Amino acid sequence: MYRFKILLWFLLFVVNVSLTSVSAQKAETKTDTALISVYLEKAAAAQADTAIILYNTVIQEAEKSLSYGGSKAYRDAVKRKLIKARLGLGLVFYNRIEYSKAMEFYKSALNGAEELDDTALEAESYFNIAEVYLEQSQFTKAMEFYNLSLSRYEKINDNVSQFWCYTGMGIVQKQCGNYKDAVEFYTKALQKAERAELNYEEAICHNNLGNVYRKTGDFAKAMESYQKALEVFRKLNEEPAISDCLNNIGNLYLDNGDPFRALRYYSQSLKLAEQIKNEYRLIIRYKNMAGAYTELKDYENAGLYLEDALKLAEKSGDKSFLASCNMLFGKLHSLKNDHIIAAAFFRKSVNLYAEIGARHEQSEALVELSTTLLSQNSVTDAIKYAREALQIAESTGSLKGRLDASLCLAQCYDVSENHDKAYFYLKSATALKDSIYTAEKYRTIEEVEAAFTRTELKKENEALTQNSMLQKQAIRTRNIILLLLAVSLLLGGALLRLIYRQRKAARKEAGMIKEQSEQKIEQLNEDLSCKERELTSKTIFINQKNQLLERMISELNELKKSDVSAHSIQHLQLQLKQELAPNAWKEFELQFNEVHPGFQLRLLEKFPELTPAERRLCSFIRLDMNTREISSLSGQSIKSIEVARTRIRKKLGVPHEQNLTNYIALI
């Protein structure tokens, strides 16, 4: 009997311990599930390094919870959190340009989503994988996964995500040079954004459409699209998007041969990209800064920015970035007359662009390679590559690509003394140039930017006026109160004196506020007038160029009626140089003095040691003209103008680090 009691007690003890263990295990499972949700929320809001730690913690806790078993609903809920953690971790590595690690987590998330048959998570996984393929320039795979993602998002009627799918597909087609298809996808994305009243997404569409218009040579439409996007991004204070827009406007001005203005926009864009510490954007900004400095022949700065871009491009493994960096290095060495090294960089760039299917960029690289080979007297190879560039440009519909290739072929055949073919391609290039770089189109670009600037100044003016009215109303109310107090406290001399002092102080303050407001309004009106004068100056300059072009077209029509020879072309060149002689300056000087009265007199009084030719060059610089434009108007070589600028800088006492154009603008 005693032994039976002991045995019974022992059995009860074992059962109690087992039940306690099971309860503890269940409690631990519940605690871990709660931790998963907490860690997941914190990871989404954390910085990169902290986010990686938190996401890995979520993955460990989720896998641990799944090992405990449980109901199907419970396990599915934990699996969804595990998938979200993997997607979040992939996004962190994607932003750090570590694409192989990002792809690993995205594919792992996709497997989990397919196992759960969760359409939303499948769509997100497909989209993220497509984004990685796009950054790696694997365009065929990117399109495949964008389509898979789009079909899932259509099933669940997610219009915002459908917008991003169409946008991604538009970017792929633009990179491949299929501009018509790119516009079609961007238009579909824009329709989705407009229906859902998504202002930010609409602005993204306008920015992307601007990129396509720039590639096809429609610069006026490109500027209009960029300004629409920039206005919205500034209202929303979206710094990454503002940086992208400013960078794109810089590209537009660089394409139009205005590296000074391009550099101004690139600098603003780079500053924002550095603030948000986005390496992807920094590659593009450094590369574009290098391109602008190369155009300005500031090879030292160009090389420094290009080295920074190449380091980040090699880290990312992005072939598109590597190709563009190699092409810029080629241009840099070509300008330094290191043609053999330049050709090697251009060949590498051509091969990389061909590998990723970026046909527009491949055409540009082929033209650069052809020009470099021509400098080495490899005429046959130069013609071969220039023809290939022309074929690609024709297939993509790029007018600028066709123009560059035609000019290159004309130069090649001129060197080989095949004047008939040289004339044919020169004539073709002239027609293309007229359709792209017409004075009307350039003026439209200037007018769009000026209108945008005027609108912003007008808004600031209206805000100041409204503030002034509110302040006056406040002062009027205060005066009424003071008047009532003065009447009610008429017999209190001490109080009356105090009220008088208050009223006097209020009047003084009102006068100061009114004066400050009027000064600000006057300053804004002055800035607006200055912008209009600059626009007038540019218009005068463009009209003069138009007159010169009309005369040259008339001469070319005469040449068509007769046999064309090298002597005829030489005669035409001689006439062109004569037209660009100082006679053009006399007419221009009269118009310049009307727009900027007193500038020449102030310049002569402050710096009497300047020669007439140097004062004339100062007038051109006052109009913010670049060296190429001054050369066209004055008839002097670019090298002569650069030497003259150096002499002017010394005589004016302008240090090397200070901008000469800005200094002259203040005279």
Q: Tell me the CATH number at 608.
A: 1.10.10
Residue 211 included in any domain: yes
Those residues whose C-beta lies under 8 Å from the C-beta of residue 238, and which sit 6 or more positions away, are 200
Q: How far apart are CA 307 and CA 313, in angstroms?
A: 10
CB 318 within 8 A of CB 135: yes
Confidence of residue 466 (pLDDT cuts 50, 70, 90): low
Q: Give, as one character, the DSSP assignment of residue 68.
A: T
Out of 374, 396, 427, pick the residue that ends a domain: 374
Q: What does the pLDDT read at residue 530?
A: 67
Q: What does the pLDDT read at residue 457?
A: 46
Number of other CB atoms surrounding residue 192 within 10 Å: 22
Could you tell me the two tokens for 156?
A: 């669940």
Mean pLDDT score, 447-454: 52
Q: How far apart are CA 167 and CA 667, in angstroms?
A: 48
Same domain, 133 and 172: no
Same domain, 191 and 137: no
Structure-token match 């068509």, residue found: 560
* pTM, rounded to two decimals: 0.47
Could you tell me the two tokens for 10?
A: 């022992």
Q: What does the pLDDT read at residue 152?
A: 94
Structure-token match 């419970």, residue found: 74
Three-state DSSP class for residue 518: helix
Q: What does the pLDDT read at residue 124?
A: 94
Estimate to the nearest angstrom the gap between the alpha carbon of 542 and the chain centroid: 27
| pLDDT reading at 127 higher than 90 | yes
Q: In degrees to the nearest 10, what's the CA dihedral of 203, 309, 179, 434?
A: 100
Give pLDDT tens digits for 510-531: 888 888 888 888 887 777 666 6
| pLDDT reading at 299 higher than 60 | yes
Mean pLDDT score, 433-441: 59
Mean pLDDT score, 279-296: 88
The alpha-helical segments, DSSP class H, found in 68-118 are 72-95, 99-116
Give the range among 14-18, 147-151, 604-608, 644-648 with minimum mean pLDDT.
Answer: 14-18
Same domain, 219 and 364: yes
AA letter at 32:
D
Same domain, 254 and 215: yes
Structure-token match 């859902």, residue found: 196
Same domain, 179 and 266: yes
Give the range among 101-110, 324-333, 406-415, 486-495 with minimum mean pLDDT.
Answer: 486-495
Number of other CB atoms surrounding residue 177 within 10 Å: 23
CB 616 within 8 A of CB 585: yes
Closest CA to 225 of 195, 187, 265: 187
Confidence of residue 589 (pLDDT cuts 50, 70, 90): confident
Q: What does the pLDDT read at residue 431?
A: 84
Q: What does the pLDDT read at residue 155?
A: 93
Mean pLDDT score, 445-460: 52
Give pLDDT tens digits for 213-259: 888 888 888 899 999 999 999 999 999 999 999 999 999 898 888 89
Count of H-run helices and E-run strands, the chain: 29, 0
Same domain, 206 and 286: yes
Q: What does the pLDDT read at residue 29?
A: 43
AA letter at 612:
P
Burial of 612 (0-12, 13-18, 19+ CB in 10 A): exposed
Higher pLDDT, 457 or 208: 208
Segment holding 536, helix H or strand E: helix 493-560
Same domain, 564 and 632: no
Mean pLDDT score, 92-96: 88
Out of 339, 355, 374, pick the residue that ends a domain: 374
Q: What does the pLDDT read at residue 666?
A: 85
Q: What does the pLDDT read at residue 331?
A: 83
Confidence of residue 143 (pLDDT cuts 50, 70, 90): very high
Structure-token match 């006057």, residue found: 522
Confidence of residue 567 (pLDDT cuts 50, 70, 90): confident
Residue 410 included in any domain: no
Three-state DSSP class for residue 480: helix
Q: What does the pLDDT read at residue 20?
A: 40
Q: How far apart are CA 662 and CA 667, in angstroms?
A: 9
Higher pLDDT, 324 or 412: 412
CB 83 within 8 A of CB 110: no
Structure-token match 């919870």, residue found: 65
Domain count, the chain: 4
Tell me which long-range contacts 439-447 makes (C-beta under 8 A, separation of at least 24). Answer: 439/542, 439/543, 439/545, 439/546, 441/219, 441/220, 442/219, 442/256, 442/542, 443/538, 443/539, 443/542, 444/220, 444/223, 445/219, 445/220, 445/223, 445/252, 445/256, 446/535, 446/538, 447/535
Mean pLDDT score, 207-215: 90
Residue 199 included in any domain: yes
Q: How far apart are CA 170 and CA 191, in angstroms?
A: 14
Give the range among 410-424, 479-493, 535-549 with minimum mean pLDDT.
Answer: 535-549
Q: In degrees to the nearest 10, what's the CA dihedral of 497, 498, 502, 507?
A: 10
| pLDDT reading at 154 higher than 70 | yes
Higher pLDDT, 276 or 443: 276
Q: How far apart are CA 281 and CA 227, in angstroms?
A: 20
Same domain, 328 and 248: yes
| pLDDT reading at 488 higher than 60 | yes
Closest CA to 642 of 623, 626, 658: 626
Residue 389 included in any domain: no
Structure-token match 């971790």, residue found: 89
Q: How far apart are CA 94 and CA 90, in angstroms?
A: 6
DSSP letter string, 554-599: HHHHHHHTS---HHHHHHHHHHHHHHTSTHHHHHHHHHHHHHSTTH
Confidence of residue 210 (pLDDT cuts 50, 70, 90): very high
Same domain, 50 and 140: yes
CB 268 within 8 A of CB 284: no
Same domain, 604 and 573: no
Those residues whose C-beta lies under 8 Å from the C-beta of residue 18, and which sit 6 or more positions away, are none
CB 91 within 8 A of CB 128: yes
Residue 455 included in any domain: no
Burial of 338 (0-12, 13-18, 19+ CB in 10 A): middle
| Residue burial 656-667, b: 16+ Cβ < 10 Å; e: rest | eeeebeebbeee
Same domain, 575 and 624: no
CB 249 within 8 A of CB 213: no
The alpha-helical segments, DSSP class H, found in 317-338 are 319-335
Instruction: Give the domain extent around 233.
Output: 167-374
Estimate to the nearest angstrom the gap between the alpha carbon of 393 and the chain centroid: 23
Confidence of residue 27 (pLDDT cuts 50, 70, 90): very low
Mean pLDDT score, 252-275: 91
Q: What does the pLDDT read at residue 505?
A: 85
Mean pLDDT over all residues of the chain?
81
Residue 92 included in any domain: yes
Phi and psi at residue 562, to the nearest 5°: -125, 175
Structure-token match 């240090």, residue found: 655
Higher pLDDT, 125 or 32: 125
Residue 347 included in any domain: yes
Mean pLDDT score, 298-311: 87
| pLDDT reading at 537 higher than 60 | yes
Domain containing residue 177: CATH number? 1.25.40.10
Out of 374, 393, 408, pick the residue that ends a domain: 374
Same domain, 278 and 140: no
DSSP letter string, 271-299: HHHHHHT-HHHHHHHHHHHHHHHHHTT-H
Confidence of residue 657 (pLDDT cuts 50, 70, 90): confident
Residue 286 included in any domain: yes
Burial of 452 (0-12, 13-18, 19+ CB in 10 A): middle
Give pLDDT tens digits for 352-398: 888 887 787 888 889 998 999 888 888 899 899 999 999 988 887 77
Closest CA to 203 of 217, 213, 193: 193
Q: How far apart are CA 486 and CA 413, in angstroms?
A: 95
